[in-house]
Structure 1
Amino acid sequence: MRTLIFRTAAPFITALMLLLSVFVLLRGHNDPGGGFIGGLIAVAAFAVQGIAFGVPVVRRAIYFHPMAIAGSGLLLAALSGVLSYAFAVPYLSGLWSAPSLFGVTVDVSTVLFFDIGVYLVVVGGITSIALSLEEREDG
């Protein structure tokens, strides 16, 4: 399915889907969404790119090996829970802070870092599977 129309529209579709995946990730625990659903949307974006242009283009676009992305996400998700030990609360308890950066108050929490870790695990793991399946299909 590498038609001219699809190859022309694929970069726009991919960019919009990646933007949507980050939006869903940042909605997190306040509304429906979070790392898992955001990661699935990002994987779908990479799949569209892979169908349109092939696996080598996707591998160059993500720059890092997908399993390295998944491993770093797993490490981030695990470390987000370790911070709670420093405050003498149970593992994976949510901790919030509101630092001021350049005069703007930014809400930061361990829940956000856990969601980002889950996002990276889903993106890395499922992208690795999808790319290996697509490589087998291509020959």
Structure 2
Amino acid sequence: MMKPGTLILHVAARFLVPLQLLFSVFLLLRGHNEPGGGFIAGLVASGAFALYLFTFGAVMTRDLMRIDPRNLIGIGLFLAMISVFPAWFQDQAFLTSQWWPVMLPGGTEIKLSTPLIFDIGVYFTVFGSVMLMLVALTETEER
């Protein structure tokens, strides 16, 4: 069984994991205008959970994730695939970006898009793949 990490690692993990997850969402959302996007954001999020995994073990990490990594891979692939259909239904080229303005309460307008749906799919797929490998390797080590 894996020995618990040091006190410093436990304290650092509790502060760094939420910050890394917040940074991964930032990278995901800014990926269309500047460097970033679903792939690197998924790697940053899996890095946060890897820190938690190495600190607290596989069982606690699975409890924190709440969703099996294989399901995340499937959800991600599904989202990436459905992002191609809006252009197809508009008789446009495959993977042509579509944008939809959405008014939020207070008069703020945001634009949702098919590239964002695709990037969220890539995010879930990368995150699920890395976590599936890390948890499987750690569980093998704990036995």
Interval containing the TM-score (normalised by the shorter chain) = over 0.9
Q: Does 1:128 align with 2:128?
A: no
Q: 1:101 deviation in Å? A: 2.0
Gap runs ≥5 in structure 2 = none
Q: Does 1:88 align with 2:91?
A: yes
Opposite residue 66 of structure 2, the aligned amino acid is Y
- Structure-1 residue corresponding to 2:31: 28
- Structure-1 residue corresponding to 2:15: 12
- Structure-1 residue corresponding to 2:115: 111
Q: 1:98 deviation in Å? A: 1.3
Q: Deviations over 1:70-92 (max 9, x none)?
A: 10010000001111111111221
Identity %: 42
Farther off after superposition, 38-47 or 93-102: 93-102
> Whole-Å Cα distance in 2 between the matches of residues 68 and 95 of structure 1?
27
Count how many residue pairs are aligned between Structure 1 and Structure 2. 139
Calculate the aligned-residue CA RMSD, in Å.
Answer: 1.0
Gap runs ≥5 in structure 1 = none
Q: 1:48 deviation in Å? A: 0.2
> Whole-Å Cα distance in 2 between the matches of residues 131 and 92 of structure 1?
34
> Whole-Å Cα distance in 1 between the matches of residues 124 and 114 of structure 2?
15
> Whole-Å Cα distance in 1 between the matches of residues 126 and 78 of structure 2?
13
- Structure-1 residue corresponding to 2:50: 47
Q: TM-score, normalised by structure 1?
A: 0.96
The secondary structure found in structure 2 opposite 1:98 is strand
Q: Does 1:59 align with 2:62?
A: yes
Q: Deviations over 1:6-48 (max 9, x none)?
A: 1111111111110110100111121000000000000000000
> Whole-Å Cα distance in 1 between the matches of residues 64 and 86 of structure 2?
33
Opposite residue 74 of structure 2, the aligned amino acid is G
Q: TM-score, normalised by structure 2?
A: 0.93
Structure 1 stretches of 4+ with a deviation exceeding 3 A read none
Opposite residue 50 of structure 1, the aligned amino acid is L
